[in-house]
Amino acid sequence: MNNFAAKLAQAVGLTPPQNSAAPAPPAARRAAPAAAEPVPIRAVSTVAASRATPAPSAASLASVPFPTPPQQRGFDAFLRQRGWSPAPDVAKQLSELDGPWTRLQTAIAETRKNQSANYHAHLADIAARTAAGDSTVKAEDGWTRDDWQDDADERCRVFKSKCKEIEAQAWEIARPVLLQKADACAAAADALEAEAKGRFDQFAVPFSPPPYVLLLRKYALSLRDDSRRISGLPSSMIESV
């Protein structure tokens, strides 16, 4: 019988292959486990884990797509089953930054509007006060239409800068948790790969990591880089962690 068939037959307890080595002495046979005994999946996984191949590099995962949102949710649920979860106060800390960030966004939207209306309202106010006999309007700065727009643009830049500060603060809260989650993904991928590899070894089949293992490793890779750093509502990072 050919080499593969011989190994398969030997693994599942059938007739040993032809031209096999001479039988071991009786004492050695008593000490060694029976080759024909079926191997439990957990035992196979443990053996495979002890000789697991190194995790693939980022370059080797280049052709692996990033997990889709449903796949990410499946991986997140699997991580929770394995006992991983972020610190309970992370979501609270991120949500507390939503208020100031949202108020700044409202101010930005307001200052982005054309300032002609404010300019004309300012002129109307000066005219009304002049008509009422208010002579102090002569000492007021007579802003032009461009002055009003320039002022609005400058305020908008300051508001945006403050938003960036808040987003950076949110990232400092989220990033350590994302790195912890990436480590949990890598450990889960190692366990799943060892489980699969054990059966490949048992039946002498050349091993290739299952697609779900590669996707989980790609997920870990994305959690470790800055692609999760967002410009937006701080609490939107909660889904990532």
pLDDT tens for residues 154-167? Answer: 999 999 999 999 99
Q: Write the single-letter amino acid at 74.
A: G
Helices 69-81 and 211-224: angle between axes, nearest 10 degrees? 90
pLDDT tens for residues 99-126? Answer: 999 999 999 998 888 788 888 888 888 8
H helices of the chain, in order, are 3-11, 26-31, 41-50, 69-81, 90-96, 98-111, 116-131, 145-202, 211-224
Nearest one of 77, 83, 75, 86 to 218, comparing CA atoms? 75
User: Which of 22-26, 134-138, 210-214, 226-230 has the lowest average pLDDT?
Assistant: 22-26
Nearest one of 67, 96, 83 to 214, comparing CA atoms? 67
Are the C-beta atoms of residues 227 and 66 closer than 8 Å to each other?
A: no
What CA–CA distance (Å, rounded) separates 184 from 216?
A: 10
Task: Evaluate if residue 153 carries a pLDDT over 80.
Answer: yes
Q: How far is CA 160 from CA 99, 105, 113, in A?
A: 15, 8, 15
User: Which of 27-31, 127-131, 160-164, 189-193 has the lowest average pLDDT?
Assistant: 27-31
